[in-house]
Structure 1
C-alpha cells in the first residue's frame, strides 16, 4: 500500500495486488489513519466491478461515523451502480473536492 498525506487527507493506492488484498490490507492498517480523511485510489485496478466497490461499504460507514470523509476513485464503475453511502468519483481531483466540501459542511454543522 502506498500512502500519500496531503494535510488532513490521506490518499491510499496499491500496486500489483488484488482488490480483495487491498481491502484486507486497508482493514489491517485502519487504526493508523482512522482520524484522517481517506481517498482510496482504485484507478490501477483495471477490472473493477460494482461488487468490488460495494465491498468497501462497511469500512466507509465506520469511517463516516468517525466524522471523516471516505472517497473511492475509479473510472471503471459508475456511481449509479453503488449505494449512496459510498462516495465514488472518477478522478483524484474530484475526490479532493468532495473531501473539501464535506469538511466545509462539518465546519458549518450541516
Structure 2
C-alpha cells in the first residue's frame, strides 16, 4: 500500500494486489491510521464491483464512529449501488471536497 499525506487526509492507494488483500492490509494498519481522515484510491482496480466496495462498509463505520472521514474513490461503481454509510466518489478532487465538508460539519457540531 502507498500512503501519501495530504493537508487534511491520507491518500491510500494500492500496488498490484487483490481488493481482498488491499482491504486486509488496510484493516491491519487501522491502529496507525484511525486518527486521520482517509481517502482510498480504488481507481487502479480495473474490475471493481459493488460487492467489492460494500466490503469496505465495516471499516467505513469504524472511521465515522471515530469522528474521521473515510472516502472511497472509484469511477467503476455508482454511489447508487452502495449503502449510504459509504462515501463513494469518482475523483480525488471530489474526495477532498467530501473530507472538507465533513470537517466543517464536525467543527460546527452537526
TM-score range normalised by the length of the shorter chain: over 0.9
Task: Name the TM-score, length of structure 2 as normaliser.
Answer: 0.98
- Within 5 Å, give how 1:26-105 maps onto structure 2: 26-105=26-105
Following superposition, the deviation at residue 73 of structure 1 comes to: 0.1
Task: Provide structure 1 residue ranges, at least 5 long, that are not aligned to the other structure.
Answer: none
Following superposition, the deviation at residue 15 of structure 1 comes to: 1.5
Q: What is the alpha-carbon distance in structure 1 between the residues aligned to residue 65 and residue 32 of structure 2?
A: 17
Number of aligned positions between the proteins? 110
Q: What is the alpha-carbon distance in structure 1 between the residues aligned to residue 95 and residue 7 of structure 2?
A: 14
- Within 5 Å, give how 1:12-27 maps onto structure 2: 12-27=12-27
Q: What is the alpha-carbon distance in structure 1 between the residues aligned to residue 30 and residue 13 of structure 2?
A: 14
Task: Provide structure 2 residue ranges, at least 5 long, that are not aligned to the other structure.
Answer: none
Contact between 2:50 and 2:77, CA under 8 Å: does it hold in 1? yes
Contact between 2:8 and 2:99, CA under 8 Å: does it hold in 1? no
* Residue 7 of structure 2 is aligned to residue 7 of structure 1: yes
Q: What is the alpha-carbon distance in structure 1 between the residues aligned to residue 14 and residue 82 of structure 2?
A: 21
RMSD (Å), alpha carbons: 0.5
Contact between 2:75 and 2:90, CA under 8 Å: does it hold in 1? yes
Following superposition, the deviation at residue 86 of structure 1 comes to: 0.2
Task: Name the TM-score, length of structure 1 as normaliser.
Answer: 0.98
Q: What is the alpha-carbon distance in structure 1 between the residues aligned to residue 86 and residue 42 of structure 2?
A: 14
Q: For 1:96, what is the secondary structure of its paired residue?
A: helix
**Runs ≥4 in structure 1, deviation > 2 angstroms?**
none
